[in-house]
Structure 1
Amino acid sequence: MMEQLKAWAKQLKRQVFVLYYAYRDKRSPWYAKLFSMCVVAYAFSPIDLIPDFIPVIGYADDLVLIPLGVLAAIKMMPGEVIEDAKKKADARMNQGKPVNWAAGVLIILLWAAVLAAVLTYLYNRLK
């Protein structure tokens, strides 16, 4: 069971790298590029939208959102773009995972905005 999970995780990581190279390809449609950029940025972000310490749903993004996003983005890309991206991804996989701090900052700002909205609501409600 554990070996299957490790193989699945490695395959998912490879698919994220494939998307990274696919959205940079000039032959990719703009909508597929935009969606793929979002998926890749989120996958490489050091910060999760739903923090992992939240019971049950904390890992939902890793187990559901990223695989669904990858699947949808790959379906949007032309086949020849994906094939070329797979070759580049296989070469890149040996170098480790890049970290996208821009996406991490965006997620922090999103959580800060949600927290500010909740605090403002509570402050006005309790006045």
Structure 2
Amino acid sequence: MTGKSLSEHIGDLGHRLAIEAHAAWLAARDPRVPWPARLLAIAVAAYALSPIDLIPDFIPVLGWLDDLLIVPLGLWVVRRLIPDPLWTELHAAAETASERPSSRAGLAFILLLWAMLLYLGYWAVRTSPWH
């Protein structure tokens, strides 16, 4: 019997969650989606795709619980608020996008943007009259 290892199952789950989060992001930008679903989709997709968590991942067990509970629960609620045919279309678009190669230029841009925001925060603190 040749089954998948635990790490392969976890990798598959992560891939499925990434596709669902991308579908939620597409839903947030689609005018056919009801506005409550769009607002929740923005929040869930931003949280799922952001490197910043409510509970940092380096805290044992608790750091992963937010990713294992908040993201799937939020995606489930978003999914329930969107009509089935529309969700199927958005999910197919997200799956198609996941098969394309990722953009290293886009990654570099996002990292540069984060670095600029961090520097701006540092500069604001250093030059504030209260420092």
TM-score normalized by the length of structure 2? 0.69
Counterpart selection for 2:44 from 33, 39, 48 = 39
For residues 67-95 of structure 1, give each alpha carbon's deviation from its aligned partner in whole angstroms, at most 9, with x where no partner exists. Answer: 11111111111112211112211222134
Q: Counterpart of 1:46 in 2: which secondary structure?
A: coil
CA distance in 1, matches of 2:17, 2:11: 10
Counterpart selection for 2:83 from 65, 78, 82 = 78
Aligned-pair identity in percent equals 34
> Which stretch shifts more, 33-42 or 92-101?
92-101
TM-score normalized by the length of structure 1? 0.71
For residues 102-127 of structure 1, give each alpha carbon's deviation from its aligned partner in whole angstroms, at most 9, with x where no partner exists. Answer: 9xx8xxxxxxxxxxxxxxxxxxxxxx
CA distance in 1, matches of 2:79, 2:70: 14
Q: Which has the higher contact order (CA 8 A, sep 6+)?
A: 1
Counterpart selection for 1:69 from 74, 90, 98 = 74
Matched-pair contact (CA < 8 Å) for 1:19–1:36: yes
Q: What is the aligned length?
A: 104
Counterpart of 1:52 in structure 2 is 57
State the AA in 2 paired with 1:49.
Answer: L
Structure 1 pair 72–96 and aligned structure 2 pair: CA distance change class (3 A): farther
CA distance in 1, matches of 2:101, 2:28: 20
For residues 15-56 of structure 1, give each alpha carbon's deviation from its aligned partner in whole angstroms, at most 9, with x where no partner exists. Answer: 111111122111111100001100001111121111011222
- Unaligned runs of at least 5 residues, structure 2: 1-5, 118-131
- Unaligned runs of at least 5 residues, structure 1: 106-127
